[in-house]
Structure 1
Amino acid sequence: MNLDPETVLPDELVERIRSRAPGYDERNEFFREDFDELVEAGYLKVFVPREAGGLGASLADVVRLQRRLAAAAPATALGINMHLVWTGVARVFRDRGDAALDFVLGDAAAGEVFSFGISEAGNDSVLFDSVTSADPEPGGGYRLTGTKVFTSLAPVWTRMGTFGKDTSGPEPALVYGFIRRDTPGWRHLDDWDTLGMRASQSCTTILDGVRVAPDRIVRRLPVGPNPDLLVFGIFAVFETLLAAVYTGIAERALALGVEAAHRRTSLKNGGRPYAKDPDVRWQLADAAMELDGVLPQLERVADDVDACVDRGPAWFPALSGLKHRATETARSVVDTAMRVGGGGGYFRSHELQRLYRDVLAGLYHPSDPESAHATVANALLGPLED
């Protein structure tokens, strides 16, 4: 049975979260009260099985929930997304009979909070290479040294999923594992002062020989594209939940555009509302049709991940294409809402100006537009090099 988003995130909670978003943004402050309420509501355990005290959600369930949360507070939804990515990947493993990440669900059930420490400045290979060094220790552990960027939930995470490259053997290997917050050898930079998504507090993290325990090493993979379940799981959940967040932004922006069209009146048209203006009607209808095209794609991808559908290599262009389409559509819909809403949306006090800034972050998440187009082109035409 599907979870009801309005039961998990009731209207009263959503409105409290929405009411706090402007202040967090203005103060460049982590969404502490939102986080505490979401923890209390069991939201961080949404992927945890019911028998372990969670909500037993599917990816399709969480897509609907994250759309609802993002429509209220995009930065809160984006920050929470990074915890949900790791717990969602653990769910992907569990559904496919692999117990390697069961400890992630167990830790989440116990209240641990996961951060996504994968992105590195200058590393456009993303999951397929790393500029962080992974130095092996006797007994199977590793020490990681490098810099991770856009590590959300900086003030509150207790576990960070991350990776680095071990060059000690005959062939380099990518080592994926989890560090604990109480392990020495890492620090955050106080550098999150951005155009949008400010409350996510996705600070840079410096890894300075931080230890990953042997029982928290989950994969050693060759450098380069790899069909391993971990790569698929990260890619599938990350791209799908990102698409959900930006779709939620678009849904809110469209609602604000419709509201503005009914509220604003035109002097030259005898005081009639802009909702009666054919040009405005066309603009909002066009935005609605754009958004309507994303929803079935988003739902189908999430359903297929949940159902363990084997799309083989076609999964990667499908996931890249979904993320690209959702973020670009969201930018277009927000832009239309700004036009329809009039000059009031340009003021700092207006919700639309914050959505306008927040939606731009979609440009920078993997897969970026260049990578997405290259992935789809390779699927259609074969690789560029013979």
Structure 2
Amino acid sequence: MTAVGASRITSADQARTAAARLAAEFAGGAARRDAERELPFAEIGQLTASGLLAVTVPAELGGADLPPSAVAEIVRLLAVADPNIAQIPHSHFVYVNLLKLAGSDQQRSRYLTAVLDGAQIANAQSERGGATVAEIATTVAPIEAAQRFRIDGTKYYCTGSLFADTLAVLTRLDDPEGRSGLPPGQYVAFLPANAPGVRIVDDWNGLGQRTTGSGTVVFEGVAVERDQLVPRTAAVDAPTAYGASAQLLHAAIDAGIARGALTAATEFVRDKSRPWFEAGVSRAIDDPLVIQRFGELAVTLAAAESTLTTAGAAVDAAVHDSDLVGDASIAVATAKVLADRAANEISGALFEVSGTRSAAADLNLAHFWRNARTHTLHDPVRWKYQHIGRTVLHGTPPPLNGVI
């Protein structure tokens, strides 16, 4: 996509209103887009034009500089309507944050001014084939007397890449002789999505989140300048709110899916379900067992949404006080556990409470469960429990790895 200009949002209230308006528009076509794998180019265009993608740009550059909690609420509202659309800008917000934390003044001005004008960033981060997901094989190596660099490698699960103007490519510096003068480590290269040597492949075939544009991106001798490289160290190897902010948005997506699934179940049972004959009632909504189950699901959702709010406040505080980063990460880990549980349980229970009619393929109510099951695979909650438990028992803070 090409940046076409965007409105300016100046407050959290304005952002929430804009997100709620777009969510109402996006909800009606979500099941159909999922069923037909219709990529939401028009909807992402609306999202960009709304100015919501620029809400975290610093005030000195003309942005609203909204806190992580406000971004989480935007993402949650979008996820209630269409989790695919909610996930597409996730990495956009993450890499805007990286620029704020680790970019030079020139880089922040260059890329974040473009974001204000409607540019969208997508990730090219994950790889296959390494011993763990943390291993990065994609290289950035100096060429031409170390004044320029080339990138080579292949990335997978590049969410939003089909819609983006700019790709944020996670690389490792391949410079054993030190020709570039850059310290070793990981760098994020910001480059145009249509740069020579970049090939974006629409091959994402996951069972859920089908329209997120999460395909493969291949880099073959892609030329970049030194000022396109941002060292990742300042964001992930120091106590910053970088990881907690990113994880907060994942929890917001899951909480949004849970709310969307419960809303769909409520509407279906009210309007379409028939009561079980043994209940002795004429309406499904009067079946005491159905009422009981809805009560249980509502409590599960309330717990997820409440902890998301608490985690958002904790991350907001950590942005301004590095001593609070560990507390924020644990708060987000707690929210992620409960949002994961709520999304998967409620999207599955939708069929349990709605009955056989709800399984009709043309309704595609299964997209809630498929989206929940797919999105919650991003980072295992079993490790959230580990970090929480170690903090409780040992008093040790969670690790600095950018994913908690």
For Structure 1 versus Structure 2, the TM-score category normalised by the shorter chain is: 0.7 to 0.9
| CA distance 1:249–1:374, shift in 2 (3 Å) | same
2:375 to 357, 362, 368: 362
Q: Which amino acid aligns with 2:214?
A: S
Per-residue CA distance 1:144-163 (angstroms, 9 max, x = gap): 22221111222221111122
Q: Judge conservation of contact 2:202–2:214 (CA < 8 Å) in 1.
A: no
Q: Report how far residue 70 of structure 1 moved.
A: 1.0
The aligned amino acid for 1:247 is A
How far the C-alpha of 1:100 sits from its partner, in A, is 6.2
1:191-270 correspondence runs (5 A): 191-219=203-231, 221=233, 227-228=237-238, 232-263=240-271, 264-266=273-275, 267-270=277-280
CA shift in 2, pair 1:220/1:32, >3 Å: closer
> Does the residue aligned with 2:335 lie in a helix, a strand or coil?
helix
Matches within 5 A, 1:275-290: 275-290=285-300
Distance 1:298 1:98 in 2: 33
Cα contact 2:281–2:287 (8 A) shared by 1:
no
2:96 corresponds, among 73, 87, 107, to 87
Q: Is 2:149 the partner of 1:142?
A: yes
Provide, for residues 173-193 of structure 1, a one-character-per-residue CA deviation record: whole Å limited to 9, x for no partner: 222221222321221223122
The separation in 1 between residues aligned to 2:36 and 2:51, in whole angstroms, is 27
Question: Which residue matches 2:7?
Answer: none
State whether residues 102 and 231 of structure 2, in contact with CA within 8 Å, keep that contact through their aligned partners in structure 1: no
Secondary structure class of the residue paired with 2:89: helix
- Give aligned pairs, total: 374
Task: Measure how far apart 1:5 and its partner are.
Answer: 5.3
Amino acid at match of 1:130: I
Tell me whether 1:155 sits opposite 2:167 in the alignment.
Answer: no
1:45 corresponds in structure 2 to 54
CA distance in 2, matches of 1:361, 1:5: 28
State the Cα distance separating 1:34 from its structure 2 match: 0.5
Structure 2's unaligned 5+ residue stretches are: 1-10, 178-182, 398-404
Distance in 2 (CA, whole Å) between partners of 1:10 and 1:48 is: 21
Aligned AA for 1:160? L
Trace 1:60-139 onto structure 2 (pairs within 5 A). Answer: 60-90=69-99, 101-123=108-130, 126=133, 129-137=135-143, 138-139=145-146
Give the letter aligned to residue 209 of structure 1: G
Assess if the C-alpha contact under 8 Å between 2:80 and 2:260 holds in 1. Answer: yes
- 1:304–1:140 distance in 2 versus 1, CA, 3 Å: farther
Distance 1:290 1:335, change over 3 A: same
Note the residue ranges of structure 1 that are not aligned, 5 or more in a row. none
What amino acid is the match of 1:117? A
Mark the CA change 1:175 to 1:30 in structure 2 (over 3 Å): closer, same or farther.
same
Query: What is the DSSP-based 3-state SS (H/G/I as helix, E as strand, rest coil) of the residue aligned with 1:154?
Result: coil
Aligned residues of 1:5 and 1:68 also touching (Cα < 8 A): no
Flag the 1:312–1:19 CA change in 2: closer, same or farther, 3 A: closer
Q: Distance in 1 between matches of 2:172 and 2:40?
A: 33
Q: Quote how far apart the aligned CAs of 1:340 are.
A: 0.7
Which residue does the alignment assign to 2:359?
346
| 2:191 aligned with 1:179 | yes
Instruction: Provide the rounded CA distance (Å) in 2 between the counterparts of 1:106 and 1:369.
Output: 36
- Post-superposition shift, 1:135? 1.6
**Alignment CA distance shift 1:190-1:136 (3 Å):** same
Shift of 1:265: 3.2
* 1:226 Cα deviation from its structure 2 partner: 5.2
How far is 1:52 from its partner? 4.8
Q: Structure 1 residues 42 and 369 mapped into 2: Cα distance closer, same or farther (>3 Å)?
A: same
Letter in 2 for 1:132: T
| SS of residue in 1 equivalent to 2:128 | coil
Asked if the contact 1:3–1:57 (Cα under 8 Å) also holds between the matched residues in 2, the reply is no
SS at match of 1:198: coil
Structure 1 position 236, deviation (Å) = 2.2
Kept in 2, the 8 Å contact 1:316–1:375? The answer is no
Cα 1:167–1:214 change in 2 (3 A) is closer
Counterparts in 2 of 1:300-319, with a 5 A limit?
300-307=310-317, 308-309=320-321, 310-319=323-332
What is the Cα deviation at residue 88 of structure 1?
4.1
SS in structure 1 opposite 2:12? coil
3-state SS of paired residue (2:202): coil
The secondary structure found in structure 1 opposite 2:365 is: helix
Q: Secondary structure, in 3 states, of the residue corresponding to 1:147?
A: strand
Report which stretch shifted further, 116-125 or 211-220: 116-125
Task: Decide whether the 8 Å contact of 1:85 with 1:241 is kept in 2.
Answer: no
TM-score normalized with structure 2 length: 0.81
Equivalent AA in structure 1 for residue 86 of structure 2: A
Per the alignment, in what secondary structure is the counterpart of residue 141 of structure 2?
A: strand
- Give aligned-pair identity as a percent: 23
Which moved further from structure 2: 289-298 or 367-376? 367-376
Query: Which string of whole-angstrom CA distances, capped at 9 and with x for unpartnered residues, describes residues 16-47 of structure 1?
Result: 31222233222223101111222222222222
TM-score by length of 1: 0.85
Per the TM alignment, residue 221 of structure 1 is displaced from its structure 2 partner at its CA by 3.9
Shift of 1:275: 2.3
Q: CA deviation at 1:317?
A: 4.3
Distance in structure 2 (CA, Å) of the matches to 1:129 and 1:160 = 19
Give the partner amino acid of 2:290. Answer: V
Q: State the Cα deviation string for residues 114-151 of structure 1 (Å, max 9, x = none).
A: 0011112245755x541222323344543222221111
Q: CA deviation at 1:245?
A: 1.2
Q: State which drifts further: 263-272 or 210-219.
A: 263-272
Instruction: Find the aligned partners of 1:140 and 1:375 in 2 and give their Cα distance.
Output: 42
Distance 1:98 1:244, change over 3 A: farther
Q: 1:99 to 1:360 in 2, by over 3 A?
A: farther
- Confirm or deny: 8 A CA contact 2:95 2:121 kept in the other structure: yes
The verdict on how the C-alpha distance between 1:261 and 1:190 changes in structure 2, with shifts beyond 3 A counting, is closer
Query: What is the aligned partner in structure 1 of residue 400 from structure 2?
Result: none
Preserved CA contact (<8 Å) 2:254 2:376: no
- Of 315, 337, 342, 1:324 maps to 337
